[in-house]
Structure 1
Amino acid sequence: MQLLGHLPAMSAAEVKARIARAREASKVWRRSSFSQRRKLLRILLKFIVENTETICRVSARDSGKPLLDAIVGEVVVTCEKIHWLCKEGERYLRPESRSSGIMSFYKAARVEYIPLGVVGAIVPWNYPFHNVLNPLTAALFAGNALVIKVSEHASWSTGYYGRMISSALAAAGAPSDLVQIVTGYGEAGNALVTGGVDKVIFVGSTQVGKLVMRAAADTLTPVVLELGGKDAFIVTEDADLDQVVQISLKAAYLNCGQNCAGGERFFVHDKVYDKFLERVTPLIRNLRQGNPLGPQPVDCGAMCMPGLAEKVHGLVEDAVARGALLLAGGKLRSASEAGGQFYPPTLLADVRPGMKIWEEEVFGPVMSVVRWSTDDEVVALANDCPFGLGSSVFAGSQRRARAIASRLEAGMSAINDFGTTYMCQSLPFGGVKHSGFDRFAGIEGLRGLCVPKSVCEDRFPLLMKSSIPPPWEFPVKSNAVAFGRSLVAMFYGPGLIYQAAGLAALLHCLVFPGAHGKTARGAGKSKAA
């Protein structure tokens, strides 16, 4: 284990002070133009493009991932998000006209998207660069300030990333306190949730997500929970194995399997089950693992969090003890022996219900392969899981793949590919069941960083203004109820005859207002009786 440096474990008081500073900055930034917000993002984008290798090396040192995984998982997705925000973000935050309904035909209705104020985010260690820039770019583009707590297992890199952010804010003329980075442990995280932010975005485990939700309940702070995943990767008998094999390896072993939306359960049709295993087994056995910053390229890096390799190994041992076949990897070495926190790329076949690995999120480099025969069977197997984040379906017929995907209990589905829903930054990211709720990213995530304010006003104020109809003015007239019944029939009657009758009754109320008095008094006596 290499010591990279020291950072403060912030107290609750320190976190709340940073929220207060962000609050003051947000009062200025909420009035910023979209042009200025785009300027800020383009400054960040220029820096990222010009410093890609340094960003990746910093991420690799802090999290143990190979440089290629850093390019794909840290840089590319961040650049894509910034590109989307600059190109389309303003369109979805501009006031949006809505229909005003039939009775309010003379009104103009719209939704205005008002910045929340201060957004709080708690992010994990698996992607230390993207996990900061992802909420930052969206929150700031929506006109908010951001207070973000990074994981205690990947805080060192925020020194470099924080300097980048501060320089970009200064270059764009934005308030210097607009982004606050919080470091520390549970006390700091709890203070962020309860310290007065306007919304919390939490990315992490289901267990901690429940704690965040409980803490937020006391102040009725809304939360976005992006939690664990155990994504299904389905391969039909007519899928293109040449395509599937390499994509399956990326799905299982990208970032050493430390992905919330990584492939964990690989459902392969019985007719190509053996052929699939024959193709992937030698590739997995020959994957190179080691120091991502060493002299030789590696395919898999290290496990970032202490104890995770042991946890993954326990799931593998349980599966083997219950009948799974270990075809690659599965050997745990001590950190001193292996030269770091490594767990080898592992392949398990014949995985089935009843094993711990069937239920629990692995979050490590394990491909668990399951055999199936019918579409109904694979849908049932895939849905037999407490999680529901992403999914992938591969089939020779795209129509069949869509049909299978439509039945999966998941927040996202990629057809004949893996992870592409996240590359399409216009799409929301999130899951169902124990994978959480609400969404970040996409149009829904961007608008979720605002208060959707309903506004209604006169469409033609010089010609037509709202006023209380005479029968309804205080004191209420004797024909008030009859007038109301006539309005309902005229506007909502099922067909022209009903509507014409309603119009006639309405005119009668206005021309002969006294004719309804006796009826109204009689109706009142009947109800009283």
Structure 2
Amino acid sequence: MFINGEWVESNSGRIRNIINPYNQEVIATVTEGDENDAKAAISAARKAFNQSDWPTIPAIERGKVVHKIADLIERDREELAELESLDTGKTVEESRGDMDDIAGVFRYYAEMVDKEGGEIINSPIPNSTSKIVREPVGVCAQITPWNYPLLQASWKLAPALAAGNTLVMKPSEITPLTSIKVFELMEEAGVPGGVVSLVLGPGNSVGAELASNDDVDLISFTGGLETGKKIMQAASSNMKKLALELGGKNPNVVFADTDFETAVDQAMNAVFFHAGQVCSAGTRLIVEESIHDQFVDALVDRVKNIRLGNGFNESTQMGPLISESHLNKVIHYVEKGKQEGVSVAVGGGRPDDPELQDGFFYLPTVLTNCTTDMRVVQDEGFGPVITVEKFTTEEQAIWLANDSIYGLSGGVFTNDIAKAERCVAKMRMGTVWINDVNLYFPQAPWGGYKQSGIGRELGKTGLEEYQETKHIYRNLKPEPLNWFK
């Protein structure tokens, strides 16, 4: 762990083996902290915020350090990509793309921060000035998920550092390797000791301390809904600022007038990248009735050909799930769907290939005859499973798309642009794609409506999450009011 500028073991001496989800081999052994380590890191972050120059140096100087981190990520791109694939099981080609995106996030905030200093507003009072400035929030706690360990970390680290905060990060205990590496790179880039700390360990000790500790000013969490609710409750102890991204059950609406082959291809891209372990995965396919059967047949034909395997093999298109416990959750999720009356068009179980038996693999699965009253349609399965619903009218399509407690993202496929615009105007989601899926970039905000979370990452708003807004009023001609005589 990295605490107060030093690499340290945990106070307890506990360790954790990190497992390759492809074959269950131990790929690393790391120290495992607890609430005492979290307290030490928070104390270091508070001291650094109160006493170091980091929060007050010119933003352009912080930007140079953040740029340097991007340089080092690009330099070590291949090593980082290999670590990410070992940790998560995803294809190394996906991980290489992630590293490019991660460097881009750091560069985006390095460039932005000195251009977002505040504004002068017109004061309605004579002989006065009024301006708005933005200042760092303070000590930020950041908890990242296992599905995109370093990508999600970059969405939090880059704006927090650029804005002048100090921070403590807790990565998922099962995928810490790239987080450890990027903290090495931040040290190399010249981030001062105490400004950034990395604490490894489980959520029920390290995460709970970060959420409840009164020396933490903001907590940013990406993960499951139930954990997010607990963090929200714990954060009320001192009214921490909250940034929560809590997943989704994302609809992908396909109209009959769409480009058929493109829509089929994108329906696959929406859910089978990284074995469906993506918060914005388009796991709800909602297809116009007139093309439903033809669309499902075409989809099934292609899904049958998805190549499972080791993420380091160039021929592999989809890797394993992250862990045995998560595999069991996906199995239970599909079995529940069968009990509810869905039909399994393809997949629905583990692969027979002997070479895949040691890994946490689940077959790409298409479930049909689905309706919104089914748990399999409402719950976030977080695996390579897609449910198919049908609709007959535009109004019904919109209603189905919105029939969820989540509101992270959605897609609309149609060649009728007016229809597409009508749909997206009524779809209650933070991001809606037209004739595409799962695209994101640093310039655009990311986050959800409803129970998909609070706040936004990326974009200008992603920086503002890590800033406080202060109004400064100046009387240029002070004189007594003589109100009280």
Q: What TM-score do you get using the length of structure 2 for normalisation?
A: 0.89
CA distance 1:98–1:392, change in 2 (3 Å): farther
* Matched residue, 1:259: 278
Q: How does 1:153-302 map to 2 (within 5 A)?
A: 153-169=174-190, 174-185=191-202, 186-195=204-213, 196-293=215-312, 295-302=313-320
- Unpaired segments of 5 or more residues in structure 2? 1-23
| Partners of 1:105 and 1:123 in 2: CA distance | 49
1:79 to 2:103 alignment: yes
What is the CA–CA distance in structure 2 between the aligned matches of 1:201 and 1:65, rounded to whole Å?
25
2:114 to 90, 96, 100: 90
Tell me the equivalent position of 2:448.
Answer: 431
Residues 323 and 13 of structure 1: CA distance in aligned 2, closer, same or farther (over 3 Å): closer
Amino acid at match of 2:108: W
Q: C-alpha displacement at 1:265, in angstroms?
A: 0.5
Aligned to 2:15: none
Post-superposition CA distance 1:365-410 (Å, at most 9, x none): 1121111111110111111111111111121022211210111121
Say which of 8, 11, 33 aligns to 1:10: 33
Q: 1:150 aligns with which of 166, 171, 179?
A: 171
1:401, 1:416 within 8 Å by CA — same for their partners in 2? Answer: no
- Percent of counterpart pairs with the same letter? 27
1:33-432 matched pairs, under 5 angstroms? 33-72=58-97, 74-92=98-116, 94-101=117-124, 104-169=125-190, 174-185=191-202, 186-195=204-213, 196-293=215-312, 295-332=313-350, 338-420=357-439, 422-423=440-441, 425-432=442-449
Answer whether contact 2:106 2:154 (CA < 8 A) is retained.
no
Q: Distance in 1 between matches of 2:388 and 2:162?
A: 42
Checking the alignment, whether the CA contact within 8 Å between 2:84 and 2:177 is kept in structure 1 is no
Of Structure 1 and Structure 2, the greater helix share is in 1
| Cα shift at 1:14 | 1.6
CA distance in 1, matches of 2:323, 2:229: 20
- Given that 2:243 and 2:465 are in contact with CA atoms closer than 8 Å, whether structure 1 keeps it comes out as no
Is the 8 Å Cα contact of residues 6 and 156 (structure 1) preserved in structure 2? no
Instruction: Give CA-to-partner distance per residue, 1:34-70, whole Å, 9 cap, x none.
Output: 2222222222222222332221111000111111222
Kept in 2: contact 1:268–1:369 (CA 8 A): yes
Structure 1 counterpart of 2:118, one-letter code:
P
Q: Report Cα offsets for 1:56-110 as digits up to 9, x if no partner.
A: 11100011111122233x2233233223223333222x12122334xx2543222
CA distance in 2, matches of 1:441, 1:106: 39
Q: Distance in 2 between matches of 1:306 and 1:100?
A: 61
In 2, the alpha carbon distance for the partners of 1:395 and 1:39 equals 44
SS in 2 for 1:277: helix
Provide the secondary structure at the position in 2 that maps to 1:7: strand
Unaligned runs of 5+ in 1: 476-529
Amino acid at match of 1:339: D
Moved more, 221-230 or 350-359: 350-359
Residue of structure 1 in register with 2:20 after alignment: none
Q: Aligned partners of 2:167 and 2:148: how far apart in 1?
A: 18
Structure 1 runs of 4+ with >6 Å offset: 334-337
Residue 323 of structure 1, CA deviation: 3.0
- Deviations, residues 156-194 of structure 1 (Å, cap 9, x unaligned): 33333332222122xxxx312221111111111111122
- In structure 2, the residue matched to 1:485 is none
Q: Give the conservation status (yes or no) of the 8 Å contact 1:289–1:301.
A: yes
Residue 418 to residue 107, structure 1, CA distance change in 2 (3 Å)? farther
Contact 2:73/2:185 (CA < 8 Å) preserved in 1? no
Q: Say whether 1:440 aligns with 2:457.
A: yes
Structure-1-length-normalised TM-score: 0.82
SS at match of 1:368: strand
Aligned to 1:263, the other structure's residue is in SS state: coil
Deviation per CA, 1:424-444, whole angstroms, max 9, x where unpaired?
x23222112221112222211
After TM superposition, the structure 1 stretch with the greater mean CA deviation from structure 2, 220-229 or 22-31, is 22-31
Query: 1:461-490 CA distances to partner (integer Å, 9 max, x unpaired)?
Result: 3xxx24455xx6222xxxxxxxxxxxxxxx
User: For 2:219, what is the secondary structure of its paired residue?
Assistant: strand
Choose between structure 1 and 2 for higher RCO, CA contacts under 8 A separated by at least 6 residues: 2
Q: CA deviation at 1:122?
A: 0.8
Residues 98, 427 of structure 1: alpha-carbon distance in 2 compared, 3 angstrom cutoff? farther
Aligned to 1:497: none
Which protein has the larger Cα radius of gyration, Structure 1 or Structure 2?
A: 1
Tell me the SS of whatever aligns to 2:426: coil
Output the CA distance in 2 between the equivalents of 1:53 and 1:276: 38
Alpha-carbon separation, structure 2, partners of 1:331 and 1:473: 80
Q: What's the Cα RMSD here?
A: 2.0
Query: 1:119: how far off?
Result: 0.9
* Secondary structure of 1:315 counterpart: helix
Larger fraction in strand: 2
Q: Distance in 1 between matches of 2:304 and 2:351?
A: 16
